[in-house]
Structure 1
Amino acid sequence: MAASLATANATCHTRSISLPSRTHPLTAKLEDHLCRLRASSEASSSSSVCRRLSNLTNLYGHVDDMLQLPQTQKSLSHERHENWVEEVIDGSLRMLDVCSNSRDVFLQMKESMQDLELSLRRKRSGDSGMVKEVSKYMTSRKKLNKVISKCYESVKSSTKKCVPVNSDKSNANALVSLLQEVEDTSFSVFESLLCHVSLSKTQSKTSGWSVVSKLLGTKSLSCEGEVEINEVEKLDAMLLRLNSKNVNKGINSEQMKNVLKSLEASEMHIRELEEGLECAYRQLVKARVALLNILSH
Structure 2
Amino acid sequence: MSISFHARSNSVPSMQHPQAAYVDEQLARLRSSEAASSSSIYQRLSNLQDLHDSLDKMIRLSITNKALSQYQIEKLLDGSLRILDLCNMAKDALSQMKEGLKEIQSILRRKRGDLFAEVRKYLATRKVLKKSFQKVLKNLKVSQNKENCNKFLVVFGEAEAITIALFESMFSFMSGSKACRKWSLVSKLMSQNKATCEDEANEFTRLDSVFESEKLLKIEDVQMLEWCIQDLEDGIESLSKSLIKYRVSLLNIF
Normalising by structure 2, we get a TM-score of: 0.79
Give the structure 2 partner of residue 137 of structure 1. 122
Where does structure 1 lack aligned partners over 5 or more consecutive residues?
A: 1-19, 168-172, 201-217, 243-250
- Find the aligned partners of 2:206 and 2:175 in 1 and give their Cα distance: 12
Give the structure 2 partner of residue 165 of structure 1. 147
Q: 1:27 Cα deviation (Å)? A: 2.0
- Find the aligned partners of 1:233 and 1:123 in 2 and give their Cα distance: 25
Matches within 5 A, 1:1-297: 21-22=13-14, 23-42=16-35, 48-76=40-68, 79-80=69-70, 83-123=71-111, 129-154=114-139, 156-157=140-141, 159-160=142-143, 162-167=144-149, 173-199=150-176, 219=179, 227-228=198-199, 229-242=201-214, 255-257=216-218, 260-294=219-253, 296=254
- Find the aligned partners of 2:19 and 2:47 in 1 and give their Cα distance: 15
- Find the aligned partners of 2:222 and 2:99 in 1 and give their Cα distance: 12
- Find the aligned partners of 1:219 and 1:60 in 2 and give their Cα distance: 27
Deviations for 1:23-62, whole angstroms, at most 9, x for unmatched residues? 43222221222222222224566x7111000001001011
Change (3 A) 1:291 1:151: same
Q: How many residues align?
A: 228
Give secondary structure in 1 for the equivalent of 2:146. Answer: coil
- Find the aligned partners of 2:116 and 2:232 in 1 and give their Cα distance: 28
Give secondary structure in 1 for the equivalent of 2:148. Answer: coil
State whether residues 221 and 227 of structure 1, in contact with CA within 8 Å, keep that contact through their aligned partners in structure 2.
no
Where does structure 2 lack aligned partners over 5 or more consecutive residues?
A: 1-11, 183-195
State whether residues 97 and 125 of structure 2, in contact with CA within 8 Å, keep that contact through their aligned partners in structure 1.
no
State whether residues 164 and 177 of structure 1, in contact with CA within 8 Å, keep that contact through their aligned partners in structure 2.
no
State whether residues 84 and 176 of structure 1, in contact with CA within 8 Å, keep that contact through their aligned partners in structure 2.
no
Change (3 A) 1:43 1:111: farther
Q: 1:220 Cα deviation (Å)? A: 8.8
- Find the aligned partners of 1:137 and 1:109 in 2 and give their Cα distance: 7
Give the structure 2 partner of residue 213 of structure 1. none
Deviations for 1:7-26, whole angstroms, at most 9, x for unmatched residues? xxxxxxxxxxxxx8444322
Change (3 A) 1:226 1:281: closer
CA RMSD of aligned residues (A): 2.8
- Find the aligned partners of 2:180 and 2:96 in 1 and give their Cα distance: 28
Change (3 A) 1:280 1:42: same
Q: 1:133 Cα deviation (Å)? A: 3.0
- Find the aligned partners of 1:64 and 1:219 in 2 and give their Cα distance: 33
Q: 1:219 Cα deviation (Å)? A: 4.9
Normalising by structure 1, we get a TM-score of: 0.68
Give secondary structure in 2 for the equivalent of 1:166. Answer: coil
Percent identical pairs in the alignment equals 36
- Find the aligned partners of 1:148 and 1:226 in 2 and give their Cα distance: 23
Change (3 A) 1:121 1:42: farther
Deviations for 1:213-262, whole angstroms, at most 9, x for unmatched residues? xxxxx95999xx974343223212211222xxxxxxxx6xxx232xx102
